[in-house]
Structure formats: C-alpha cells, structure tokens
Chains A and B, each alone.
Chain A
Amino acid sequence: MADFLSNYSIQKWLESCPQGYLEDTVYGHGVDEREPEDLLQNEAYREQQIRTTVQLIAGERCALAASSGLVNAAPDQASKTFLATQTLDEGRHVEIFTQRLYDLGVKPIDLESTIKAYVNPHLGKFAEVLLEKIDKKDFVAGVVGQNIVLEGMAFSVFEMLHAGAETSNPKFARTLSGTIADERRHVGFGENRIGELIRRYPEKKPEVQRMQRDMTKHMLATFHEAFARNGGPTEARASAPQKGKPGPTYQGLNLAEASNEDMEEALSATVLKEFKTRLGRIGLDYQSPV
C-alpha cells in the first residue's frame, strides 16, 4: 500500500505540470527565450556549456531507464501510476537537454558522438550500480538509488546551475526551474514510499546502504572530474557574462569568482548533507565511501 499516493493521479499531474509550470513553454523555456549571444560567440564558454549539458543528458537517460524499469517492479498500482508520470518527466528531461545541445550548435547527426566525447566515465559507473538493481526488479533498492540518491544529487546540481544561470541565461534557468519542480515530486515519492517500505523490510537495509555507498563514491568522482576537467570552468568563466558583476551565489559562494575546488566542495558538501538527512529520516544510515 502507498497511502500517501491516495490523492495522486495522472489528472493531478496534468494540472500541476503540463497545465501548470510548463504551460506556454517550448522545450521547457519561454517561446522567445534564446541562449545568450555572448555565450554562443565565446568558444571556451560554449564548450563548457556543451560538456555540462552532456552530463545532464547522461544522468537523465539513466533516470529514464530506471523509472521505466521500476514501473514493472512496483508492487502496487498507485506506485505504478506515479512511476508512469515520472517516466514521462524523465523522458522530457532527456529531450529538453538534448534540445539545448542543438541550441548550443551541436548538429543532430553529431549528438551521440558529442555525448561520447564529453560524458564523464564516473557517471556511467554511477548509472551501472543503479541499473543493476533495476534489472533484478529490486524495487526497494531501485527507488532508493533512483529517487533518493540520483534525484537528490540532481536536485542539488540543478539548484547550483539555476543559481549560476538566473541572471546570465534566463532561458537555461527557466528550463532548470521546470526540472527542479519535477524533482520535488520524485524525491517526495522516494522518501515517502521507502520510509514506509524500509520499516516493513528492515532486512533490506545493509544491501541498500551498500548500494548508496557505491553510488556516492562514483558521484563524488564525477564531481571531482567535472570540476577539474570542465574546460576548466575558471578559464571559461573569465570571459563568461557574469564575470566582474555582483554575481550569482550558491551556498554563500560567488559562482563567478569561486575556484573549481571551492565549487566542488560546496556542491559535494550540500549533496552529502542532504543524503544524510534524507536517509536518516527514512531509517537508513548514510555510508561514507571513504
């Protein structure tokens, strides 16, 4: 049973999402919004944005595979209905971030080769750990991996990117705000569904915690490589539109001026703190990968 889902319906999803915050949007942003001209003219900054967007596509492809796989693993109809709407959310995320690559000048014929060239290998390992549980139709581990670990990470990454784009790139910020709204439902499902299930199946705890530890290890490696290799962001930001202005902040950091190490530390600390809090609430102990 999933009592918290008793009021959830595809009708409510329609009224909240396509008829709510996505109304009048095209690929998640306003009809007249475009990538800023100074971004498109600055090759280093454009490449950094392509690299970042590729990681979002890779993460969302993993989420799409996981949420669609979980539909058939779910033990009750209410969870299947929720996961059906989440599957469409994730499919939409893959599409809007793919469209962003095209808006940044990537040709459709070069899509897969661009993803292959820029994707972070640690992100692939992160996805493998999760998809192995999905393949085994392990609903409890799958929901923890997908809706708490992956979505919890996405929630913080999107908030950081949103803070950085809010003034310099309203189009991308709008795209991100729609995905953040979707993530609220996804993390809510994860916490509420697992909070209930883990009390019923406490014997699942060690295995789920091991998976969380492995996923966390690959997530931290992903962040490390992303901030170390991202063009790097410091050089790219040197000519980025927000440089020298009061600037966007995230967790007290000026994103236009912060070093790569500071940004990595701020993001990792935020995500890990959220993991610990969230896992603690549902009765799981956070496992450090170190």
Chain B
Amino acid sequence: MMTDPLELPSGGRRPRLFFDLEETGFNEVPKRFRRFYRRWRGAGDKLGPNEALCPVCKVVIRSTKELRAGDRVYCMPCMSRLELVEEEGMLIAKVIY
C-alpha cells in the first residue's frame, strides 16, 4: 500500500487537481515511496502545484493531489512533518515539532 505524503486534505472550494506521479530517479527512501519525492535542482527549479520543498533537507515532496495552505505533508528522507502556509502568495512548508 503506497501512502501519499499528503496527510490532511483541506475541504471546500474548487476541487483539487490530481496528478499521476512517475519515478524521478529519487532512491533515498524505500521503493514504494520513491515517486513521492524528487531532488531539488537548485535556483532554476520550479515547484508544481502538487509539490512542496522540505526546508530541512531540500528534497521536493510530491503529492497525487494539488497542495493547499493548511495541508500537512511528510518528508520521509529527513522524517520531518510539515504544514503548508501561505506567505506573500507562495506556499511555504513549515516544520511541526
């Protein structure tokens, strides 16, 4: 059973977009979870609407659903639990301790 790193779907509004996740070559977690992560490619890289950057280890977390403020995601490579917040029109991931 594969578990999407998106933990809490937020309710209401426009239905969320859905995404098919393909393998990205990320191999730092057990096989069944690998498609939910990819490497950050640096300053020129851009996050998709279903992606969040882990501030702790700089890995991109990917969900099958569009991400929104209030969602919680899990970064398996560094074990951080993150909550998405909106700051200046951008989605930022904050660590929950």
Q: Please tell me if the beta carbons of B29 and A185 are within 8 angstroms of each other in the complex.
A: no
Q: Tell yes or no: A282 within 8 A of B by CB.
A: yes
Min distance, Cβ B85 to any Cβ of chain A, angstroms: 13
Q: Which residues of A have CB within 8 Å of B80? A: 4, 188, 191-192
Min distance, Cβ A19 to any Cβ of chain B, angstroms: 8
Q: Please tell me if the beta carbons of B97 and A16 are within 8 angstroms of each other in the complex.
A: no
Q: Which residue of B lies closest to A14 (CB)?
A: B30
Q: Tell yes or no: B86 within 8 A of A by CB.
A: no
CB contact between A195 and one of B27, B28, B59, B95 (< 8 Å): that residue: B95
Q: When each residue 1-23 of chain A gets 1 if its CB lies under 8 Å from chain B and 0 otherwise, what string results? A: 00011011000100110011100
Give the distance in Å from the alpha carbon of A15 to the alpha carbon of B57 in the complex: 19
Q: Please tell me if the beta carbons of A281 and B95 are within 8 angstroms of each other in the complex.
A: yes
Give the distance in Å from the alpha carbon of A136 to the alpha carbon of B6 in the complex: 41
Q: Tell yes or no: B47 within 8 A of A by CB.
A: no
Q: Which residues of A have CB within 8 Å of B78? A: 184-185, 187-189, 191-192
> Interface size class for chain B?
10 to 19
Q: Which residue of B lies closest to A2 (CB)?
A: B79
Q: Please tell me if the beta carbons of A20 and B75 are within 8 angstroms of each other in the complex.
A: no
A residues 143-186 near B (Cβ < 8 Å) are: 181, 184-185
Q: Which residues of B have CB within 8 Å of A185? A: 77-79
CB contact between B28 and one of A5, A21, A199 (< 8 Å): that residue: A21
Min distance, Cβ B6 to any Cβ of chain A, angstroms: 16
Known A20-B28, A20-B30, A181-B28; contact A188-B56, beta-carbon cutoff 8 A: yes
Q: Please tell me if the beta carbons of A192 and B27 are within 8 angstroms of each other in the complex.
A: no
Give the distance in Å from the alpha carbon of A278 to the alpha carbon of B58 in the complex: 12
Residue picked from A12, A188, A199, A281, most chain B C-beta under 10 Å:
A188
Q: Tell yes or no: B48 within 8 A of A by CB.
A: no
Q: Which residues of B have CB within 8 Å of A16? A: 28-30, 77
Min distance, Cβ B58 to any Cβ of chain A, angstroms: 8
A interface residue numbers (CB < 8 A to B): 4-5, 7-8, 12, 15-16, 19-21, 181, 184-185, 187-189, 191-192, 195-196, 199, 277-278, 281-282
20 contacts between A and B (CB under 8 A): A4-B80, A7-B79, A8-B79, A12-B30, A15-B29, A15-B31, A16-B77, A21-B28, A184-B57, A185-B79, A187-B56, A187-B78, A188-B56, A188-B79, A188-B80, A189-B78, A192-B95, A195-B97, A281-B55, A281-B95
Q: What 7 pairs across the A-B complex have the smallest Cβ distances?
A: A188-B78, A195-B97, A15-B30, A184-B57, A181-B28, A21-B27, A184-B77
Given A20-B30, A21-B27, 10 additional A-B pairs, CB 8 A: A4-B81, A16-B28, A16-B77, A20-B28, A187-B56, A188-B79, A191-B56, A192-B81, A192-B97, A282-B97
